Amino acid sequence: DEEQGQGQGQGQGPKERARPRRRQRPSPRRMRTRGAEEAPQPKAKAKAKGLGIKAQVMKDFDTDRNIDEVVDEARNSVSEIEASIVVAESEEKKLSKEVEEAKKALQQTSARVDEATNKETVALEKLKAAHAARAQAAEATQQAREQRTETAKTLKILELEVQGRAKLVELEEAKKAAQEASEAAKKAMEDAKLKEKEMAQAMKDAFKVQGVQASLAIKDAADEDAKGKEEAKEKKASDKQAEKAVIAELGELEKARLARERERQQRLREAAGMKGRGRGRGFGQAAPKRLVDASPEMVATPSKAAKVREDID
């Protein structure tokens, strides 16, 4: 530091201006993130009005498609959604690791003062880009979970419908057997009629039980949906707290950098004072103005600190 101060004292005049600071180019990761944000998002298809989930399922049954194919299609949709959730969570972990690596890189780049200025700026940009990417990954994960809940609800209704139809087939076969028995034996007509009435009552009971099961399934799905929304709300609050913590940490890093800069300026002023006393100017001689009046880029001002805060936000 003393040799640097002496070299500057020989080559610079008291009124020489500091060189302007070069503007940092945006990193490729930040440009990709900005391009992804500015790209037009595809519009989601509007849902059919007036049709609930059960009504949509019943509408699918009115077609010529086999119910097993509809169930298999719903199960495949659930599997694809779960796979996308796993990929999104893996991406989120990867981005979290990149955030930690960016923090370590930021701490390591503060070893040298001359190189720390550019390296700290690059590390801050990487940290902000990684934080934004992690937030996007978390949002994609939440959307996949909501879609999985809707698909699971549809699959549950389809399974109940399959069970109900199987029960109806059994009852129809029993009713047909009772009718054949009544035609074969006229003497057992009354018994056959009684049995037919019992089968009709059983069909009504089966429809009633099926309706109760469907209502319970819809209620359970609604409760699960509400629980998912509550978890999403808590996740959003947690992400907001984490974002505030990152902003606070960036502010502390900026303060540390400014403190190091002030300490460096102080060492330069002390080195300049020692040099003046060596030339016989006596103790108590004031430092040259070019060393006392530091460059605006080297001394932190409230307006500059506010600007850094806005960049971080």
Residue ranges in the chain modelled with pLDDT below 50 = 1-18, 20, 28, 31-33, 35-50, 278-306, 308-310, 312-313
* Calpha distance 46→204 (Å, rounded): 38
The secondary structure of residue 292, as a DSSP letter, is H
| pLDDT of amino acid 188 | 67
- For residue range 94-105, list pLDDT tens digits in order: 988 888 888 777
- For residue range 187-203, list pLDDT tens digits in order: 767 776 787 788 888 88
User: Cβ of 270: how many Cβ atoms within 10 Å?
Assistant: 15
| pLDDT of amino acid 52 | 66
Question: Which among 158, 147, 165, 163 has a CA at the least distance from the CA of 73?
Answer: 158
H/E stretch holding 45: none
| pLDDT of amino acid 122 | 80
* Calpha distance 145→164 (Å, rounded): 29
* CA atoms in the 13 A half-sphere facing the CB of 135: 17
Buried b (16+ CB within 10 A) or exposed e, 272-282: bbebbeeeeee
User: Cβ of 108: how many Cβ atoms within 10 Å?
Assistant: 11
Burial of 257 (0-12, 13-18, 19+ CB in 10 A): middle
- What's the CA angle centered on 128, arms 126 and 133, to 5 degrees? 90
pTM of the model: 0.23
| pLDDT of amino acid 103 | 78
